[in-house]
Amino acid sequence: LGFEVPAPGDYSIGGTGLDLYRNNSGASYPYSISELITLTGSSAGLDFYYYLYDLEVQKAACKSNLVPVTVEVRDPSFTFVETPSGFEFNSLDDQANSYSWDFGDGFTSSDPNPTHNYALAGVYVVGLTLDGICTKTDTVVGGGLGFNNITNQNIQLSPNPTDGLVTLMLSSRSDEDLSISIYNTNGKKILTDVINKGAKAKELDLEYLASAVYFIKVQGKNGSFFEKLVVR
């Protein structure tokens, strides 16, 4: 029947329009079932009892007393801002027992609100872990946009924003092979290419990329160029 007996007491099993078989003689009440239930009588009288098919009785599951529990939820969200002294990172949770920062360039910190300088321009994925269990990440563009220290080259992206086709233009023919890398805002490298030695421009077909902000890096032997690229 699937019902729960809430407490010891006198209960009846019955219904209307039932056609149950019964024993017409030899009834001897009460009937006890393994200290779980006792049948004390029948509505047909003490001389009869009905056959109750598939009557299963079991003890209720053991339940402990309810105990109040205090749950503290940690939020590893953080903010950051670039200042003349470096990137200032600030945790939005000031109640954590421990802070573990990973700046994405091999350096870490356990300060709640650290300051960090990036030696090279690039896209870095910064992570903050609170109390060793809760982690959140964000993307930092280290070194600043428009960074260019490739010797004797003025590099431009055109058009930017772009609908898919973009040209990397050099101010003079390259005297070396320059590697091209494009990253999404999660810091994942999604494309690589090369500006060959002697070339003055490189056209990139990015029509297959979703509309979003990307970062493009051109790397030479002695320097790099770094800029934001918007694909519409």
Residues 196, 216, single domain; the answer is yes
Asked if residue 72 is part of any domain, the answer here is no
Q: What is the dihedral of CA 107, 125, 221, 147, to 10 degrees?
A: -110
187 & 216 share domain: yes
CATH code of residue 90: 2.60.40.10
- Asked if 53 and 125 sit in the same domain, the reply is no
Residue 53: pLDDT band with limits 50, 70, 90: very low
The CA angle 197-198-199, to the nearest 5 degrees, is 95
For the chain, what is the domain count?
Answer: 3
Among 89, 124, 142, which residue terminates a domain?
A: 142
- End-of-domain residue from the set 45, 66, 87: 66
In a domain, 194, yes or no: yes
Question: Tens digits of per-residue pLDDT, 172-204?
Answer: 888 889 999 888 877 778 899 999 999 999 999
Which band of pLDDT confidence, cut at 50, 70 and 90, is reported for residue 73? Answer: confident
Give the predicted TM-score (pTM) of the model. 0.47
Q: Does residue 127 belong to any structural domain of this protein?
A: yes
Residues 185 and 134 in one domain: no
- Residue 137 is given by DSSP the state E
Q: Structural domain of residue 201, as residue ranges?
A: 147-231
- Rounded to an integer, what distance in angstroms lies between the CA atom of residue 123 and that of residue 52? 75
Tell me: do 153 and 217 sit in the same domain: yes
Residues 215, 153 share a domain: yes
